[in-house]
Amino acid sequence: MSIMEAGSRRLIAEHCAAIEKSVSWRTLAADLDPVLAQCFNVTARCGCFMQAARSLNIKATRLRKQLAQLETQLQCSLFSPSDNGVALSRDGLQLHSQLIALAHERDLPVIEQPLVRLAVAESILHDILGRDLVALLRRNASVRLDIISLDSELSLRAVSADVVLWLAGTDSPLPGPSFAISEPRRLARLDYLPHIAKRYSRVASRPDSLDDLADFLLVQWQHDRQVDCFRPWNNLVDQRLAGVVQLHSYELMLEMIRCSACIGLLPGYMSRFDRGLIGLPGLFNAPMQRQVWLAVNVHSEGDEQVQMIVELINSTFNERREWFEG
């Protein structure tokens, strides 16, 4: 046999082996369990186990178990150690390329998540619930959540939602949402009083009577003008001929109190939310109080995703119970 003939046969054998291996990977990819294939594809696409788990709405430990199951099934290692996240091994690259070739990653259907509509009072959303909602989204990147900010009684009556969290008087949850809801549940009582930034008011010079407020700029959130129990504060603001700022933005009002030596009406828990602010008790004889109420749409109260939001709200208020006591 000539050297050229031997070399030719060797090349043909290597070519046939490559074809057989390619066909083998294609067959394996086509026969994979769709859930395991999706876990692998999302991990390969994200390059990070944690982000892939969030996208799939599962725990990272469960994702790793499923990927380990896939490697056991294929009898190969699909990932290689890397300092820059998740790196595919040679076999992992082969599998990924075959899955992509199979009708754009097999056209795995995206499981539609139910839309959950959460309507919440703007101040509660900003001060109390916002941080835990962000944490929820970090854990669950596939959630469909519509967050509606309630900044007036009119918006509360007009809104349609699955979960609603609003502020009302101390006697009843009315006025409440206009759609059919479960029995409203009281979560907390909020006491309101004027606040000022500590850095703009030394202890000895802090106002302790209404007359002392004459030398201070007052700032008012326009939404508070509609609240009947805030009448003592609203009357004081209305009497001012100068030194008043009216705002439609809750966040901007907070920023002005923090940075502009203004005095504004805030919930009593504010000194816990922002330790740079301090309340000014004793300025008004009548207490200014509101209640936080929670209710669920009767048509969606049994939905799993709705219950997840309700549990989050209950947990948040339980963890901050000391904010509302005393």
What the chain holds in terms of domains, given with CATH numbers, is 3-106 (1.10.10.10), 115-324 (3.40.190.290)
Residue 187's pLDDT band, with cuts at 50, 70 and 90, is very high
Residue 3: is its pLDDT beyond 80? no
Does residue 3 sit in helix, strand or coil? helix
pLDDT value, residue 278: 94
48-52, 252-256, 317-321: lowest mean pLDDT where? 48-52
Q: DSSP labels for 146-178?
A: EEEEE-SHHHHHH---SEEEEEE-SS-S-S--S
For residues 164-175, average pLDDT: 91
**For residue 106, what pLDDT is reported?**
47
pLDDT digits (tens, 9 = 90+) for 242-286: 999 999 999 999 999 999 889 999 999 999 999 999 999 999 998
Average pLDDT over residues 217-229: 93
Mean per-residue pLDDT, 181-209? 89
With tokens 């989204």, the residue in question is: 137
Half-sphere exposure of 237 (CA within 13 A, CB side): 21
Confidence of residue 101 (pLDDT cuts 50, 70, 90): confident
Helix H or strand E encompassing 263: strand 262-267
Cis amide leading into 175 (omega within 30): yes
At residue 109, the pLDDT reads 57
Q: What mean pLDDT is reported for the chain?
A: 86
Specify the pLDDT at position 16.
41
